[in-house]
Chain A
Amino acid sequence: MRAFNKYATNRQQGLAPGNMKPILRNILVYGIFIGAVAAYGLLEKSTYYLQLATFVGLNTLLAVGLNMLMGYAGQISLGHAAFYGLGAYVSGMLTVHLGWSPWITLPCALFAAGAVAYIVGLPTLRLTGYYLAMGTLGFGMIVNILFREFRKFTGGPSGLPGLPELTIGSINLSHGANALFLVWGCVIVAFFICERIVNSRMGRALRAIHYSERAAAAVGVNTASAKLAIFVFAAVLAALAGFLYAHMITFISPSTFNFLASVKLVAMVVIGGMASIWGSLLGASLLTLLPDFLHIFAEYEMIVYGLILMLVMIFFPEGLFRNLVKLYERAKNR
C-alpha cells in the first residue's frame, strides 16, 4: 500500500512543456488530443481502422473509470466487465423486447449500473486486499452467469441480436467516423471530469484512502462514502461504454463481458500506469491494438499476449506511461 503513495502524490506531469501555467497546459493538451481525434476521423477512410479506433475509445472509457477506482482510491476490482455488460444488456433488452428508443434506455442503463454498484458496493467495499479482489470477481462471475442463463430475456449464451443503431434524425451515429466522434467525445468529457475529480477535495480524499484508510478516516474523510461514490462513478462510466458498444455492434453476447474481459481491463490500467489518466489511454490503446497486430502471429497469439503482459510487469511495474515520462525528462535534462 505504502508503495503506491509515490504515484498518488505526483499529479499529471510531463506531456506538455514544463513551465507553462496549468490552465494553458491543459488547453494545449486537450487541443492536441481533440485535433488528433478529429484529424483521424476525417482523414481515415477505411471502415476497419475507424472501428478499431472506436474500440480504443471504448476501452479507454472503461480503463479510465477503473483507474479512478484502482489507481487513485486503491480499490481493486476483478469484476468491472459486469458493469460494462449491465450497460449493454439493460439497454439491449429494453430496446429489443420493449422497442424503446436507445436515447430513453441510455439513462435507464446508466441508472441501473449505478444502482447495482451502490447496492453491491455497500457490503463489498468494506472488504480489503485479496478479499475485495475475490468479492468483485464473484460479483462479475454471477452477473455473467445471469446473462447466460436468463435466456428468455438475454438470449442466453448465443447472445442478443437485433439492437437498434444510434441515430439523430437521419444521421447514423453507429458507423464509421460518426461512431468514432461519439465515443471519443465521451472519452474527452470523461477525461475532463476525471481530472477535475482528481484535483478536487474528493480526489485528495481518495488518495488519502489509498495511502491509509485509517489515517484518512482520522482526518475526517468519510472513507466508506468516498469509496462508494467512486465505485458508482466507475460503474456508470463502464455502463456508458457498454451502451455505446451494444448499439454500435447491434449484437451482444455474454462472452464479451466475462472474467477475462475484467482481467484485460485491469491489465490496461496496470500496463498504462496506475493513478494516471493518460496512462489509461496508453494502456487501452496498446491492449486493443495488440491483438489486432498479433493476428500475424496467428496460432501463437495467446503466447505472445501472455508474454507481453508478463514482460511489461516484470520490467516496467509502474506502467509504461510513467516510464515514457521518465525517458522524456531524462532526455530534457541532459
Chain B
Amino acid sequence: MPEFYQYLFSGLTNGAIYAIIALGFSMLFAATDLINFAQGEFVMIGALILVTLWPVMGLPLPLAFVLAVLATGILGIVFERLAIRTVKKPDPIVLVIITVGAGIFLRGVAMIIWGKTAKGAPPFSKMPPLEIGGAYLLAQSVWILCIVLVTVLAMHFFYSRTLTGKAMSACAINKRAASLLGIATQKMTLLAFAVSAALGGMAGVIIAPITMNEYEMGAILGLKGFCAAMLGGLGNSWGAVVGGFALGIAEAMAVGYVSSSMKDAVAFLLLLLILYVRPTGILGGKAIARF
C-alpha cells in the first residue's frame, strides 16, 4: 500500500501542474476559439524568471512569485497585440502556425537570455516531507496542491461573481451577442490572453523547485496540459482541472505498475481513447468543429 500512496502523491503533484496548464488552454479556447501552442513556453518562462529573481538575485519569494506571474501575463498581452490581432485572415490553422512560431521564437529568446544549462531552485520551504501511510509527500507538493487549489477557486469566483468574469463567459458563449450587449470583446480577448499566459507562468513558478529548468522544458509540459484540457473537455474550466488530475494520476500509476518508459505514452493513449469514445471529453458539452 505505501507504494500506491507514493504513486498517488506524485500523480497528484503532476496532476495539479497539468490542471493549471490545462486551465490556461481551456479558458483561452473558450474566449477566443484558439489553441495556443506556445502555452508550454509561458510555463518555461515563468520558471526561469522565478529562478533568476529568487535564488539568483535574492528577492523575497512572494515578490519573485508575483513578479514572475505578472511578467508572463504581460508577455501574453504583448503576444496578442503583436502576433494575433495583426493577422489579416484569422483561420484557425493560420493562428495555430503563428502560435507554434511564437513558441519557437520564445524558446530561442530564452536560450539567449538564460543559456542552455539547466538551473535548479530550492523548495519554497525547508520542511521535511510529510509521512502519510508509509509514503512521503514533499513539502513542495503540498505547496503546489494548495496554490493550484486557491487558483482554481479564484478563477471560479472570477467567472461566477465578478462582472468582468461574467462578461468573459458571455464572450465564450457567443461573441457577437456579447458585443451587442456592450461588452468590449477585444478587451476580453486581451484579458483572456493575459490570464492564460499568467496561469502558464504560475505553473512554471511552482514546479521550478522540482524540475530542471531550461529553455526546452516547456514543449512536453504544454502538450501534456493540452491532453489534459482535451481529456476534461476543451473549453470547460472544471473539465481542465479534472482532466489534469486524471492524467497525472494515470501517468503515475502507469510508471509505478507498468513501466517508466511508457510515461509519456500514457497521456497520448488516454487522449486517443477519449477522442474515439467520447470526443467532447469527460465534462465537455457540445462538440467543437471549427475548422
Q: Is A301 an interface residue (CB 8 A)?
A: yes
Task: Give chain A nearest CB distance to B122 CB in angstroms.
Answer: 30
Among A138, A148, A274, A310, point to the contact of B272 (Cβ < 8 A). A138
B94 within 8 A of A: yes
* Chain A residues near B89 (CB-CB < 8 A): 3, 317-318
B83 touches A131 (CB 8 A): no
- Given A259-B223, A309-B104, check contact A135 B94 (CB 8 Å): no
Q: Indicate if the CB atoms of B275 and A300 lie closer than 8 Å.
A: no
Please state if A128 and B98 are interface contacts (CB–CB under 8 Å).
no
B91 contacts A130, C-beta separation under 8 Å = no
B235 nearest CB neighbor, chain A only: A130
The 10 sampled A-B contact pairs (Cβ below 8 Å) are: A128-B289, A130-B288, A131-B289, A134-B275, A300-B112, A302-B105, A305-B104, A310-B83, A310-B101, A317-B88
A22 at the interface (CB under 8 A from B): no
Please report the C-alpha to C-alpha distance between residue A4 and residue B266 in the assembled complex, in whole angstroms. Answer: 35
Q: Interface on B for A, CB 8 Å cutoff? A: 35, 83, 86-89, 91-94, 96-98, 100-109, 111-112, 219, 223, 226-227, 230, 234, 261-262, 264-265, 267-269, 271-272, 275-276, 279, 287-291
Quote the shortest CB–CB distance from A227 to chain B (angstroms). 14
Binding site for B on A (CB under 8 A): 1, 3-4, 70, 76, 123-124, 127-131, 133-135, 137-139, 141-142, 145-146, 148-149, 259-260, 263, 266-267, 270-271, 274, 299-310, 313-315, 317-318
Query: With a CB–CB cut-off of 8 A, which chain B residues contact A270?
Result: 93-94, 97
Q: Is A141 touching B223 in the complex (CB atoms < 8 A)? A: yes
Main SS at interface, chain B:
helix
What chain A residues lie within 8 Å of B227 (beta carbons)?
134, 138
How distant is the Cα of A299 from the Cα of B97 in the complex, in angstroms?
A: 22
Cβ-neighbour of B35 out of A123, A130, A141, A300 (below 8 A): A130
Cross-chain contact A303 with B275 (CB below 8 angstroms)? no
Cα of A259 to Cα of B107 in the assembled complex, Å: 16
Q: Across the interface, do A76 and B268 meet the contact criterion of CB distance under 8 Å?
A: no
**Are B97 and A303 neighbours in the complex by a CB distance under 8 Å?**
no
Contact of A309 with B279 in the complex, beta carbons under 8 Å: no
Contacting pair B98 A309 (CB below 8 A): yes
A306 touches B104 (CB 8 A): yes
Known: A129-B289, A129-B290, A317-B89. A141 touches B97 (CB 8 A): no
Residues of B within 8 A of A266 (CB): 93, 97
**Residues of B with C-beta under 8 A to A305:** 101, 104-105, 108
Q: Are B97 and A313 in contact (CB under 8 A)?
A: yes
